[in-house]
């Protein structure tokens, strides 16, 4: 074998997967078709859950340092132009303000980390450097995946290097993180289903070094991250992390029109360069399968959403960290035969739900945009009515895009063979997050001391939390997990706050901070529980 895991595609998802595999000591090779990371705009917001994940990888501080200044508000505006009074302001806290809110809250309802605005072209080089620093990760840019074959022991991938030479790599497992067009998915014959080509927009990237300092321009909107222009072309201005770069999306006929569109949006003369223009299409698509044999798929290769709800890359990062520990467990022998199949069961339902969340958000945006009329600027009763009506609808509908904390933090794995299920369970909500330790859910963040969360004292393996004044005898589960050779620790958490939020004395967590089991007394059959959560035994009810 050349490597244990071959990761195809060094977008944010492939890079995150390679880092998490490398941290766990899995030998992994990452291949990327491009010669180097590109300076092209795509995503710009890591959501709260992604930042929690990056914190556990030791990357959060570096990402914040490279991202948007922590004091800049994350407000979203609907406006006619940047130099005209905004029609609607939806205020969202800066990172600094969000951190203060989180510091003052201990009811489990807030994330450990707030979101961070960082442009994908800034994030990818940070992740690339982190992957390259790990001794068991090998990173090859300028290597294009061409074909694969698999057998009982592994996968053979054919690659083409920068000099057009054919290279073969043999791996125990291969993961396609190769984006929406995914050559790996196509090789497996797996289809994407749903709604494709919903809307075609042009996106341009501008260097406008003076724009941020000039905001507000006259009576125009204040500093924020998104400026939706109420017009008939779905025009949408996005601040990038440096505040000197901006992107504009709009429905136009020709790329050259994006210069005039930017000038119209800004409304006043301004020094700028248009650095790139491209066309992209909105899709709401989900793959039929996330795996075939020894080949797995993650990120945009299996789910494509409308980006402005911010569930594209963020869902893919969730895929990566679900898969990494399962590959590690299987390769090291402590994971049983149910472990890797649980990846598709757990993550495809989240992909499906997030495609649904994105549909809900984009329908909301379409609804308020459909209130636009060409008389929107008119100083007439009809013009006034158009503005008033659009604002009233947008004040409800635009929030669907920006207030998705339930989809970000509240996802729970249902029907998983490695979760000790309880019948029923809280409803899945896109908009609201209700902290819960229901099996399958992410462990809510609760402070232990100032600056130290329960999350911060949990290692990268399985963890049994023993809470409050519990005196349960945990020796049975300790022995059972150790007998399987799974990485495992017991953490005693004495204070009342975590017990009050978690509502159980004992919580067994998986390496990804999701709850595998909970109870108030030691498990009746610890060997059976250990075998289920490590994938050696199907749950007794299945």
Ligand X SMILES: Cc1cc2nc3c(=O)[nH]c(=O)nc-3n(C[C@H](O)[C@H](O)[C@H](O)COP(=O)(O)OP(=O)(O)OC[C@H]3O[C@@H](n4cnc5c(N)ncnc54)[C@H](O)[C@@H]3O)c2cc1C
- Which residues make up the interface to ligand X (CB under 6 A)? 8-14, 31-34, 42-45, 120, 144-145, 177-179, 183, 203, 280, 299-300, 307, 310-314, 316
| Nearer to ligand X (CB atom), residue 183 or residue 351 | 183
| Nearer to ligand X (CB atom), residue 283 or residue 470 | 283
| Nearer to ligand X (CB atom), residue 311 or residue 419 | 311
Nearest approach in angstroms of CB 224 to ligand X is 14
Using DSSP bridges, classify how beta strands 273-287 and 137-141 pair: parallel, antiparallel or unpaired.
unpaired
Q: In terms of DSSP H, where are the helices of 104-155?
A: 120-133
**Residues 175, 6: contact at Cβ < 8 Å?**
yes
**Residues 249, 41: contact at Cβ < 8 Å?**
no
Q: Burial letters for 229-256: b for 16+ Cβ neighbours within 10 Å, e otherwise?
A: bbbebbbbbbbbbbbebbbbbbebeeee
Nearest approach in angstroms of CB 121 to ligand X is 10
| Nearer to ligand X (CB atom), residue 6 or residue 522 | 6
Nearest approach in angstroms of CB 449 to ligand X is 32
Residue closest to 178 by CA, chosen among 45, 26, 30, 355: 30
State the DSSP code for 442. Answer: B
| Nearer to ligand X (CB atom), residue 157 or residue 507 | 157
- CA–CA separation, 256 and 191 (whole Å): 35
| Nearer to ligand X (CB atom), residue 4 or residue 241 | 241
Nearest approach in angstroms of CB 394 to ligand X is 20
Nearest approach in angstroms of CB 60 to ligand X is 16
DSSP one-letter string for 499-535:
HHHH-SSEEEE-TTSBEEEEESS--SSHHHHHHHHTT
Nearest approach in angstroms of CB 437 to ligand X is 26
Query: Left, alpha or beta for 342 (phi > 0: left; psi -120 to 50: alpha)?
Result: alpha
- CA–CA separation, 523 and 469 (whole Å): 17
HEC sequence for 262-331: HHHHHCCCCCCEEEEEEEEEEEEEEECCCEECCEEECHHHCEECCHHHCCCHHHHHHHHHHHHHHHHHHH
| Nearer to ligand X (CB atom), residue 312 or residue 329 | 312
Dihedral of alpha carbons 366, 207, 215, 92, sign: positive
Collapsing DSSP to helix, strand or coil, 109 comes out as coil
| Nearer to ligand X (CB atom), residue 315 or residue 534 | 315
Nearest approach in angstroms of CB 298 to ligand X is 7
| Nearer to ligand X (CB atom), residue 310 or residue 444 | 310
Nearest approach in angstroms of CB 536 to ligand X is 31
**Residues 4, 172: contact at Cβ < 8 Å?**
yes
Nearest approach in angstroms of CB 43 to ligand X is 3
Nearest approach in angstroms of CB 215 to ligand X is 21
Chain residue at closest Cβ approach to ligand X: 11
| Nearer to ligand X (CB atom), residue 84 or residue 257 | 257
| Nearer to ligand X (CB atom), residue 42 or residue 536 | 42
Which residues are bridge partners to 489 per DSSP? 463
For residue 152, give both structure tokens: 């009982």
Nearest approach in angstroms of CB 361 to ligand X is 12
Give the Å distances, CA to CA, from 393 to 89, 231, 396. Answer: 13, 15, 6
HEC sequence for 402-434: HCCHHHHHCCECCCCCCCCCCCCCCCCCCCCCC
Q: What angle do CA 39, 44, 46 make, to 5 degrees?
A: 125
| Nearer to ligand X (CB atom), residue 220 or residue 316 | 316
- CA–CA separation, 440 and 353 (whole Å): 15
Nearest approach in angstroms of CB 90 to ligand X is 16
Residue closest to 115 by CA, chosen among 44, 43, 47: 47
Q: What is the CA radius of gyration of the chain?
A: 24
């Amino acid at each position: 074998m050349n490597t244990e895991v071959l990761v195809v595609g060094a977008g944010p998802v492939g890079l995150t997967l390679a880092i998490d595999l490398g941290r766990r000591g899995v030998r992994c090779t990452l291949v990327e078709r491009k010669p180097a990371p590109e300076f092209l705009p795509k995503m710009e917001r890591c959501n709260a859950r992604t930042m929690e994940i990056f914190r556990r990888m030791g990357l959060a501080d570096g990402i914040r340092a490279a991202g948007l200044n922590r004091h800049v508000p994350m407000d979203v505006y609907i406006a006619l132009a940047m130099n005209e009074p905004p029609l609607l302001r939806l205020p969202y806290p800066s990172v600094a303000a969000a951190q203060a809110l989180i510091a003052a809250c201990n009811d489990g309802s807030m994330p450990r980390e707030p979101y961070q605005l960082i442009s994908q072209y800034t994030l990818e080089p940070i992740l690339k450097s982190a992957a390259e620093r790990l001794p068991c990760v090998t990173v090859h840019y300028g290597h294009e995946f061409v074909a694969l074959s698999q057998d009982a022991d592994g996968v053979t991938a054919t690659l083409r290097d920068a000099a057009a030479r054919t290279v073969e790599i043999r791996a125990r497992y291969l993961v396609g993180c190769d984006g929406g067009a995914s050559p790996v998915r196509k090789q497996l014959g797996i289809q994407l289903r749903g709604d494709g080509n919903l809307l075609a927009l042009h996106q341009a990237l501008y260097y406008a070094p003076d724009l941020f300092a000039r905001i507000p321009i006259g009576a125009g909107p204040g500093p924020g991250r998104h400026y939706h222009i109420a017009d008939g072309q779905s025009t949408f201005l996005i601040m990038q992390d440096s505040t000197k770069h901006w992107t504009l999306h709009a429905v136009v006929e020709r790329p050259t029109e994006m210069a005039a569109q930017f000038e119209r949006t800004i409304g006043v003369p301004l020094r700028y360069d248009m650095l790139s223009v491209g066309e992209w299409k909105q899709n709401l698509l989900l793959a039929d399968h996330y795996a075939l044999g020894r080949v797995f798929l993650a990120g945009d290769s299996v789910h494509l959403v409308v980006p402005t709800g911010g569930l594209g890359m963020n869902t893919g990062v969730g895929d990566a960290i679900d898969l990494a520990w399962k590959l590690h467990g299987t390769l090291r022998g402590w994971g049983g035969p149910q472990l890797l199949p649980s990846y598709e069961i757990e993550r495809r339902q989240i992909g499906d739900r997030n495609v649904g969340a994105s549909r809900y958000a984009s329908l909301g945006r379409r609804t308020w945009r459909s209130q636009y009329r060409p008389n929107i600027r008119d100083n007439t009763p009809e013009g006034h009515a158009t503005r008033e009506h659009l604002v009233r609808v947008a004040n409800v509908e635009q929030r669907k895009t920006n207030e998705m904390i339930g989809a970000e933090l509240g996802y729970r794995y249902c029907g998983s063979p490695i979760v000790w299920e309880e019948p029923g369970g809280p409803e899945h909500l896109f908009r609201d997050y209700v902290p819960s330790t229901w099996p399958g859910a992410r462990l809510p963040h609760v402070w232990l001391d100032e600056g130290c969360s329960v999350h911060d004292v949990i290692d990268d393996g399985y963890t049994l939390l023993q809470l409050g004044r519990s005196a349960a005898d945990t020796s049975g589960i300790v022995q059972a997990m150790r007998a399987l050779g799974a990485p495992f620790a017991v953490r005693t958490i004495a204070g009342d706050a975590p017990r009050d939020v978690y509502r159980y004395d004992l919580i067994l967590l998986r390496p990804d901070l999701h709850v595998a089991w909970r109870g108030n007394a030691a498990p009746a059959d610890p060997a059976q529980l250990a075998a289920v959560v490590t994938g050696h035994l199907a749950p007794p009810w299945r």
